[in-house]
Amino acid sequence: MNARRVQIALVGALVLALAAGCDFPPKADWVERAAEAHRIADEALARGDHDGARDALAAFVDAPRPLGMQPDDCRTVVQDACFRLATIELSADRARESLAWAERGLVAGRGDDVVTANLLIARGRAREALGREREAAVDYYVALEINEKLLSRALGGER
């Protein structure tokens, strides 16, 4: 077998591996999975099962995300799940884990919207719990700026 045939076989194998290994979910299914993860978390929290709530949401965040979704739409869903995870960990006195989830959510991006502000608040809480008051103050300040913009927009819409 000459080198050219080996190269063609390798390229074909790589394409097949890519197609088989990357299980990108359909966009609408992924959004419904997010709703389902939140529903499971609600039920778990209602019976005091913090670990169950965390596992359901963490599995969703760790799962592959769909291709072709608008970045802000995807970010909103992921950041909201991370906010809940950070809140759940904080309520279980796990500040480091809470901080990790907040950081992970903020890595997904930032916007002048509710979910980014929520994550900044959660990160501020986690940092405060870890004795990092100065960094926490910065988070609160930025969250407050976003909150004021949102309030101003909401009030402006009514006038």
Partner 1 sequence: MTDATEQERREAEALRRLLEDGGDASAADGAATGAAPGAVPDGALEAAALLNWATDRDSRPAGRHAALRAELLATADRAPAQGWGRWLLPAGAFGAAVAAVVLSLTAGPGAKQAPLPEPDHALLVAQARAIESRALDLHAEELAALDDAMRSYRATVLTTLAERYGEAE
Provide, rounded to whole angstroms, the least separation between the CB of residue 28 and partner 1: 4
Which C-beta is closer to partner 1: that of 17 or that of 107?
17
Residue 10 CA, chain-centre distance (Å), reads: 36
Alpha helices, DSSP H only, in 47-108? 50-62, 71-91, 95-107
Nearest to 98 by CA among 73, 76, 120: 120
What the block records as the tokens of 158 is 């009514």
Provide, rounded to whole angstroms, the least separation between the CB of residue 105 and partner 1: 13
C-alpha span between 58 and 139 (Å, rounded): 23
Question: By the criterion CB under 8 A, which residues form the site for partner 1?
Answer: 3, 7-8, 10-11, 14-15, 18-19, 24, 26-28, 31-32, 34-35, 38, 42, 66-70, 72-73, 76-77, 80, 83-84, 87, 90-91, 113-114, 117-118, 121-122, 124-125, 128-129, 136, 140, 143-144, 147, 150-151, 153-154, 157
Contact 96, 130 (CB under 8 A): yes
Which C-beta is closer to partner 1: that of 31 or that of 100?
31
Provide, rounded to whole angstroms, the least separation between the CB of residue 81 and partner 1: 9
